[in-house]
Amino acid sequence: QDQGPIKVGILHSLSGTMAISETVLKDEMLMLIEQQNERGGLLGRQLQPVVVDPGSNWPMYAEQARQLLAQDQVDVIFGAWTSVSRKAMLPVVEELNGLLFYPVQYEGEESSQNVFYTGAAPNQQAIPAVDYLIDELGIERFVLAGTDYVYPRTANRILEAYLKDERGIADEDIMINYTPFGHSDWQNIVAQIQQFGSQGKPTAVVSTINGDANVPFYLELANQGVDASDIPVIAFSVGEQELSGIDTGPLVGHLAAWNYFQSIDTDANAEFVDAWQAYTQDDAAVTNDPMEAHYIGFNMWLEAVRKAGTTDVDAVKEAIIGVTVPNLSGGYAAMMPNHHITKPVFIGEIQDDGQFQVVWETPSTVAGDEWSDFLPGSRDLISDWRAPLRCGNLNVQTMSCGGSTAAQEAEAALAE
């Protein structure tokens, strides 16, 4: 087994509604693997991608994760976008002891010894973003607008708690609005936002609106004349890929918070963007934050395998904590014991060429915090997957490790 190629499972939707976001991640992974093979592979072996398409169907993610791990015997999986797809895969990955690198910003409140979260936790995106709004723009009223699913719900709950408890924003200065997936008629909501924003206090919209619904949302904003200088919108799910599907002319000045922008001016990034454009044979091809997350995740895994000298999952899990690799914005990303990584946070303004221009960044990188400090249920929890703790949800008050089976199994294994 140690002689053949090392198999890398790629589990992103290439069809259905999620294809819009996930297809590029598949292509990116293929590119990274190709590059690595040109550099001589890993441990002297070639990397071999195994691509499957769950077709935006959540049970299918579980089925295919199982297939990749049990049938194809892949050594690692890079995949998923939505939280629900990750949740669907999670039991499978834990059961079959696989490795999953998840590249998208998410709501937190989860920790698994088999999953590595290379996207942002809420504290790496949402919290700094509202800090920027308050501290730099003097915003006093907030519209929290999101698609009605778990990530926006959780992010907004965290934000609400943070705004009220930490930043002293009054109840009536927060408006929360949820819309269905793919919502396309924003007339009323934009009118409401305008109304809400015209009461004499500087107002901003914090948008956790998902994918497809963004285009009609921004169009409506533009057409109803909501200018970024009147009511700026800061989005957590709108990146360069999404902008490539929107006429950004009328959106100039609206904001997004990410850990990476294509426009970031570093050599590493220029190289990455060039490679990507060459690989896709499209010099207008854009990169985005989840792509950087996969880039970092992939390099961390390479590093960890090298360090462990094997692709054996347990060894890699052990080795990867503490691994530090360069990110694309000129700094370093480190894998923390909670399987989250350190990231800088950038605020960018949309430009008319579909790129973001960084207008603010955190002075240093922020470590991902999966258990939010602003939610009563989880503020006492931490996660640490290093020996001997090996616990994803340690309650620091009671010092007991809550019920993840993985943890129990580890305990049992130790006892034996």
Partner 1 sequence: MKLFPLPLFASSGARLFALLGLCACLMVVILGQQAHAQSPDDAALLESLGTGSFNDKSEAINSVAASGTPRAGEWLEAMLDGRLQLAGDGTLVIVASTSGRSLEARAALDGAPMGTIERRELRRIPINNALRVQLRGAIATLDLSAEDPAVRRAAAAGLFGRVDDDLASLIEARLEGEEDESVRAALERALALPRLEHGDVTAIEALRGSQDNAVRLALTRAAQSGDAQMAAAAQQALGEIERRAEINRWLQQLFFGLSMGSVLVLAAIGLAITFGVMGVINMAHGELIMLGAYTTWMLQQWLPGQPGLAVLLAIPAGFLVSALVGIVLERGVIRYLKGRPLETLLATFGVSLILQQLVRTMISPQNRSVVTPEWMSGSVMVIDGLSLTLNRLYVMLFAALVFLALLAVMRATRLGLEVRAVTQNRAMARAMGIRASRVDLLTFALGSGVAGLAGVALSQLTNVGPSMGQNYIIDSFMVVVFGGVGNLWGTLVAGLSLGIVNQWLEPWVGAVLAKIAVLVFIILFIQKRPRGLFPQKGRAAEG
Partner 2 sequence: MAHGWLVRPWHERSTQVFLFSVCAALALVTLLHLALPAGHPLHVSAYTVNLLGKYLCYALLAVALDLVWGYLGVLSLGHGAFFALGGYAMGMYLMRGIGERGVYGNPELPDFMVFLNWDRLPWYWHGFDMFWFALVMALLVPGLLAFAFGYFAFRSRVSGVYLSIITQALTFALMLAFLRNEMGFGGNNGLTDFRELLGFDLRQGSTRLGLFIASGVALMFGYLVCRALISSRLGRVGMAVRDASNRVRFLGYRVERVQLYVFVVSAMLAGLAGALYVPQVGIINPNEFSPLFSIELVVWVALGGRATLYGAVIGALVVNYAKTWLTSAMPDAWLFVLGGLFVAATLLLPQGIAGLLAQLRRRKSAKRDEDREALT
From the list ligand NC(N)=O, partner 2, partner 1, none, which binds 268 (C-beta under 5 to 8 Å, kind-based)? Answer: none
Question: 143 is written with which tokens?
Answer: 């519209």
DSSP assignment, residue 5?
A: P
CB distance 283 to 263 below 8 Å? no
Tell which residue, 133, 178, 124, has the closest CA to residue 349: 133
Which of 164, 306 has the CB closer to partner 2? 164
Q: Closest approach of Cβ 178 to partner 1, in Å? A: 6
From the list partner 1, ligand NC(N)=O, partner 2, none, which binds 106 (C-beta under 5 to 8 Å, kind-based)? Answer: ligand NC(N)=O
The reply on whether position 231 binds partner 1 by CB under 8 A is yes
Integer Cα distance of 370 and 255 in angstroms:
24
Q: Closest approach of Cβ 390 to partner 1, in Å? A: 39
CB distance 88 to 62 below 8 Å? yes
CB distance 240 to 354 below 8 Å? yes
The reply on whether position 389 binds partner 1 by CB under 8 A is no
Q: Crossing angle for the helix pair 267-280 and 289-308, nearest 10 degrees?
A: 100
- Residues 121-150 close enough to bind partner 1 by CB under 8 A: 137-138, 140, 148
Question: Is the bond preceding residue 344 a cis peptide, omega within 30 degrees?
Answer: no
Candidate segments 57-65, 100-108, 335-343, 401-409, binder of ligand NC(N)=O by CB under 6 A = 100-108
Which of 94, 240 has the CB closer to partner 1? 240
> Which one of residues 5, 37, 48, 149 is an interface residue with partner 2 (CB under 8 A)?
149
Q: Which residues of 374-406 are buried (b: 16+ CB within 10 A; e: fewer)?
A: bbeebeebbbbbeeeebbbbbeeeeeebeebeb
Exposed, middle or buried, 335 (CB in 10 Å: 0-12/13-18/19+)? Answer: buried
Residues that bind partner 2 (CB under 8 A): 14-15, 50-55, 57-60, 62-64, 66-67, 70-72, 82-84, 87-88, 90-92, 95, 109-111, 148-150, 153-154, 157, 178, 180-181, 375-378, 381, 392-393, 395, 400, 402-405, 408
Residues that bind partner 1 (CB under 8 A): 14-17, 19-20, 23-24, 137-138, 140, 148, 177-180, 182-185, 187-189, 191-192, 194, 197-203, 212, 214-216, 219-220, 222-226, 228-232, 241-250, 252-253, 349, 351-354, 357, 359
